[in-house]
Amino acid sequence: QVQLVESGGGVVQPGRSLRLSCAASGFTFSTYAMHWVRQAPGKGLEWVAIISYDGYNKYYADSVRGRFTISRDNSKNTLYLQMNSLSVEETAVYYCARSTSGTYYNPFDYWGQGTLVTVSS
Amino acid sequence: DIQMTQSPSTLSASVGDRVTITCRASQSISSWLAWYQQKPGKAPKLLIYKASNLESGVPSRFSGSGSGTDFTLTISSLQPDDFATYYCQQYNNYWTFGQGTKVEIK
pLDDT for A102 equals 77
Task: Enumerate the residues of chain A whose CB falls inside 8 A of the CB of residue B99.
Answer: 44
A/B interface, count of CB pairs below 8 Å: 50
| Tens digit of each residue's pLDDT (9 = 90 or more) over B11-43 | 999 999 999 999 999 999 999 999 999 999 999
Residues (pLDDT < 70) of chain A are: none
Whether the CB-CB separation of B74 and B54 falls below 8 Å is answered with no
Is the alpha carbon torsion for B54, B35, B50, A100 positive or negative?
negative
Nearest to B43 by CA among A4, A19, A10: A4
Whole-number pLDDT of residue B7: 98
**CA B49, CA B55: separation in Å to the nearest integer?**
7
pLDDT at B66: 98
Interface test with B, best of A39, A65, A108 (most B CBs within 10 A): A108
Q: Are strands A3-7 and A18-25 parallel, antiparallel or unpaired?
A: antiparallel
Mean pLDDT score across all residues of chain A: 97
The answer to whether B37 and B84 are in contact (CB under 8 A) is yes
Residue A108 backbone dihedrals phi, psi, to 5 degrees: -115, 120
Q: How far apart are CA A2 and CA A29, in angstroms?
A: 10
| Predicted pLDDT at A115 | 98
Q: What is the pLDDT of residue A103?
A: 80
pLDDT tens-digit map of A40-55: 999 999 999 999 999 9
Query: What is residue A6's predicted lDDT score, i.e. its pLDDT?
Result: 98
Name chain B contacts of A50, Cβ cutoff 8 Å: 95
Instruction: Give the model confidence (pLDDT) of A78-93 as tens digits.
Output: 999 999 999 999 999 9
Q: What is the pLDDT of residues B44-73, one digit of tens each?
A: 999 999 999 999 999 999 999 999 999 999
Q: Minimal Cα distance from B3: which residue of A?
A: A46
| Interchain proximity B96–A107, CB inside 8 Å | no
